Amino acid sequence: MSSHDTLLNGRYRLVAQQGSGGMAVIYKATDLALGRTVAVKILRPSLTSDPEFLKRFRQEARNVANLSHPNIVTVHDVGQDGGTHYIVMEFIDGEDLKRLIRASAPFTIDRALSIATKICAGVGYAHRAGLVHADVKPQNVLVTESDKVKVTDFGIAQALSATQPRERQKVVWGSPHYFSPEQAQGEPPTPASDVYAIGIVLFELLTGRLPFVGTEQQELALAHIHETPPAASDLNPNVPVHLDRILQKVLSKEPASRYRTADQLGRILVSYRRQGYTTTDHVPEVAPEEPQPDTAATIPPSGPVYAQPQPAQASPNAYIPNSHPDVGPNVHTNRSYNNPPTVPAAPPVTAGSQYYSQQPPLPRAPEAMIQSRYRATEPPQQLDLVTVVLAFMAFIALVLLIPLWIAVYQAWA
């Protein structure tokens, strides 16, 4: 379709083609009714010949239109003009993450974690709404110059996999590098499948390459199902071993062995990032050691800081997926504790700040403040004297009632 002088339903004037994929062609367009720039995604004719798919696609589009989150591309409209079926979305002035990876990867640890947590925030919000993306990959992640992250293309792969299994092999399998093992075996995707795909994206951000490579789709599918992914630290020595452990869990073959939702993975990455890249897995067994002043990490100026590293408030609970990812950490730490320790006020963090290198380490938080809610348990209550006395009196009363029960039994007999 030529973009010149093309008008959809007398409202959306196509300006220029922005990109294309196996499912659709994306255009920059002008909404003449509202006078704003939008993105119009036109489905390929090979997908629109099935009425059942179109019905499911429109339903998925309506579901996604109800999602309002700063890390999800907003859907404005879905419609049809003759045989052309399209979806109208907000226009993002940026590049897809795949292009940035090809140009800049491997990313710094901090920037990779920042982008990954924002992807988790958007996808996790959809998980809470009962939606699975089913096709998380860098091509479906848009990044602006200020590193604002927007996830797009919710619902198309899900609608396709539910209605056109044959077409799914031809189209959705166009990017099998990010498929979970269960998807590679033809099983329906779940939130854990999205978590696996986010793990592949994070691996690629950290190393500049994919964990599994192959010349054929079947070869890649078998690799996802059977092969153990390489350690990211083997490909990039700057990757801490503890982050490697998180990636190995995320890329587990069994869905039950991964984090269950993108929200949970996001909390882990935020907590790990705040604690200075020292914690292991999703439950810190011991409090992290104080970083030495001469080895303190430095936040690179390549992107905005998602959250300040404050050990005194480090906890997986601090992650709030539906909060704006580009604001400071204060919105993530509105939790109260009994008699909290006094923590020196930190200066506001802005994009490109060097907070780690300018500030001395903060005091270590008490153990109770860094316990994960997934492991938190109350200590057993000790028996006091009153309880013991009452229990003893109840026992005596029970013993004294035995002769009475015997007498009643003999009387009735």
State the catalytic residues: 135
- On whether the CB atoms of residues 203 and 251 are closer than 8 A, the answer is yes
- Among candidates 138, 128, 135, which has minimal Cα distance to 171? 135
Rounded to whole angstroms, the Cα distance separating 198 from 402 reads 67
Which two structure tokens, joined as six digits, stand for 170? 């031809």
Rounded to whole angstroms, the Cα distance separating 344 from 358 reads 14
Rounded to whole angstroms, the Cα distance separating 70 from 122 reads 7
Rounded to whole angstroms, the Cα distance separating 196 from 225 reads 12
Rounded to whole angstroms, the Cα distance separating 31 from 38 reads 7
Which two structure tokens, joined as six digits, stand for 404? 């009475």
- Among candidates 52, 45, 44, which has minimal Cα distance to 22? 44
DSSP annotation of 63 reads H
Which two structure tokens, joined as six digits, stand for 182? 């269960």
DSSP annotation of 348 reads P
Helices 241-250 + 191-207 axis angle, to 10: 150
- On whether the CB atoms of residues 112 and 203 are closer than 8 A, the answer is no
Cis peptide before 51 (omega within 30 of 0): no
**Beta-bridge partners for 6:** 14
Q: In a 3-state reduction of DSSP, which class is residue 355? A: helix
Exposure string for 66-102, b = 16+ CB within 10 A, e = fewer: ebebbbbbbbbbbbeeeebbbbbbbbbebebbbebbe
Rounded to whole angstroms, the Cα distance separating 306 from 327 reads 7
